[in-house]
Structure 1
Amino acid sequence: MRLISVSVVFGLTLAGCAAPPASEMERRTRMAAAAEVSATQCAGFVGGYESAKQLKADANTNIIAARQLGATDADLAKARKDVQTTFNTAALFTSIPEACNSLIGSLAWTSN
């Protein structure tokens, strides 16, 4: 039950904190932020070093795409803050492994 609620929390974050992304740029900033949090805080749950490197590459790809669509440093900072806050909240109410599992699953599900 807890995992389902965490999945919903991360689904909302990646999908727009309960609202769909206003644009493709916003979706890309959220995807980048989720990949960054997954790589930096969930490396042991994504398969270690190589998987974390792939998440970093995915984050960079999404950052480039978001910037091409008009994302600013403020847009990226907001997405990072939103994802980090949601991750911290999920970890508080469940556990870090469950929060990581949910974040990684949501990220994989919403990726291109």
Structure 2
Amino acid sequence: MQLTLAPVFKRLLLPASLSGTVTDAQTGSPIAGTLVQVFVIGMTVPIKSTLTDDNGQYRITDLPSATYTIIVFARNFTTQSLNVTLMNGKERKVDIQHNLLQISVANIS
């Protein structure tokens, strides 16, 4: 006799994953080389991180079901931080739009 797991039970055993695309909020262009970090809420060291590819896409796998803080950093853009809840066996798609840093130069006399 062969024992099979019900589809719902199988999904509970599978880790969660996070994916998406990082783009420039003004132009819609993908931002390659963006650092995407996953933190357990309240912790200061990421448990996983990756860089976006040439198309601005990222994917982070093998995450346990939980709520995480995601911090996204791209040179010359504002840093984004958001909380995301992941469920076992599911892939959560989170697209992020970055705004350029606003740099002001003070008049020096």
Same structural fold, with TM-score higher than 0.5 when normalized by the shorter chain: no
Which has the greater radius of gyration?
2
Report which of the two has the higher share of strand: 2
Q: TM-score, normalised by structure 1?
A: 0.27
Report which of the two has the higher share of helix: 1
